[in-house]
Amino acid sequence: MSASSPTYKALEQTAAGHEVDLDSLLEVAGWNDEGLMPAIAQQFDSGEVLMMAWMNRQTLEETLQTRRVCYWSRSRQKPWRKGESSGQIQMLHQAWLDCDGDTLLLKVDQTGPACHTGRRTCFYLALDDKSARVDTAPLMSAEALYGNS
């Protein structure tokens, strides 16, 4: 949890309200070897954590400009505008970067299920020390989600 650059270190004890240029902050952000960072999507009003996916600088900037959430698909190696095949889009309410500049939190308004299984959230396997339990059934089938794509 140590700061990843002098820029982030300098912000640590800064008073609320201080502003910095986005470009200079993203220039020294903690992108991984693939130029990506994790982005957590949280429903803005209920607080439910919906999913985690990845963004590069390009898809983060697009998201901040258009307010429609766009991730980077690692499997397809291209921008992934959430909902482009399922219709279940995410609109951005507020984006946050963490203290080390290597993780994003996106407060979003999610239409319908966020999860490709048809569930509202991807986090549906409840763990204890011996077993995992399926906590919720799908809201809709994969066929209903992707049938027209």
SS3 71: strand
| Token pair 């307010």 in the structure block, residue | 67
Q: Which of residues 53-92 bind its own copies (CB under 8 A)?
A: 53, 61, 64-65, 75
CA 86 to chain centre: 17
In this structure, is the dihedral angle defined by the CA atoms of residues 134, 136, 137 and 140, taken in order, positive or negative?
Answer: negative
CB of 70 to its own copies, least distance (A): 13
Here the tokens at position 36 are 């990506």
| Token pair 């049938």 in the structure block, residue | 147
Q: Which of residues 27-56 bind its own copies (CB under 8 A)?
A: 38, 40, 42, 46-49, 51-53
Size of the site for its own copies (CB under 8 A): 62
Binding region for its own copies (CB under 8 A): 1-2, 11-22, 25, 38, 40, 42, 46-49, 51-53, 61, 64-65, 75, 94-101, 103, 105, 115-117, 119, 122-138, 141-142
